[in-house]
C-alpha cells in the first residue's frame, strides 16, 4: 500500500463490498510515549478500511468517497504483536455510507472499535478526484 498506509505498514488482505481486512505488526512508529499503540493509529486504520470498502461500492456508480466523521473508541491497550482490522458496511446509500470497524489482537481481543461516515461524490464535484482502486492504495 503506498502513501500513509504503506508508511504505517498496513497490509491489505481482502477488499470486497462486504468486508475489508487489513493487518499490521506493532512497532515503534505505532507507539505513543507510554509504549502502547497511539489512538491515532486506530483512527487512521479505520479510515483506511472503511474508505476502501465504501470506495469499492461507490466506484460502481462512478463516484468517489471522502470521510465525514470518524468515531473511534479505545477498548484495550496493545504494545506488540499483529493487529487485524475488519470493516463491514452498516449502510450504503447513494449519498452517504456508514462503515463499522474493529481492531483485534492475535488472541481475538478487541483493541478498538469505530464507525466512519463517508460522503459519496459524483464525478466532477469539487472534492472528487479520480477514484483510487484498492490495489493502488
Annotated catalytic residue within 11, 47, 69, 136: 47
Cβ burial of 87 (10 Å; 0-12, 13-18, 19+) is buried
Phi and psi at 130, nearest 5°, equal -70, 130
What does the alpha-carbon distance between residue 82 and residue 85 come to, in Å, rounded to a whole number?
10
Task: Provide the 3-class DSSP secondary structure of residue 65.
Answer: strand
Residue 18 designated active-site: no
Please report the sign of the dihedral spanned by the C-alpha atoms of residue 16, residue 74, residue 107, residue 26: positive
What does the alpha-carbon distance between residue 1 and residue 11 come to, in Å, rounded to a whole number?
7
**What residues are labeled active site?**
47
Amino acid at each position: 500500500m503506498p502513501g500513509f498506509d504503506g508508511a504505517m505498514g498496513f497490509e491489505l488482505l481482502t477488499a470486497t463490498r462486504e468486508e475489508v481486512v487489513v493487518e499490521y505488526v506493532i512497532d515503534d512508529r505505532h507507539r505513543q510515549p507510554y509504549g502502547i499503540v497511539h489512538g491515532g493509529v486506530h483512527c487512521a486504520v479505520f479510515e483506511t478500511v472503511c474508505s476502501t470498502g465504501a470506495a469499492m461500492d461507490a466506484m460502481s456508480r462512478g463516484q468517489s468517497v471522502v470521510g465525514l466523521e470518524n468515531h473511534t473508541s479505545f477498548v484495550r491497550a496493545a504494545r506488540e504483536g499483529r493487529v487485524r482490522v475488519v470493516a463491514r458496511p452498516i449502510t450504503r446509500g447513494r449519498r452517504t455510507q456508514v462503515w463499522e470497524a474493529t481492531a483485534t489482537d492475535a488472541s481475538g481481543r478487541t483493541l478498538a472499535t469505530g464507525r466512519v461516515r463517508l460522503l459519496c461524490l459524483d464525478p466532477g464535484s469539487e472534492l472528487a478526484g479520480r477514484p483510487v482502486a484498492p490495489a493502488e492504495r
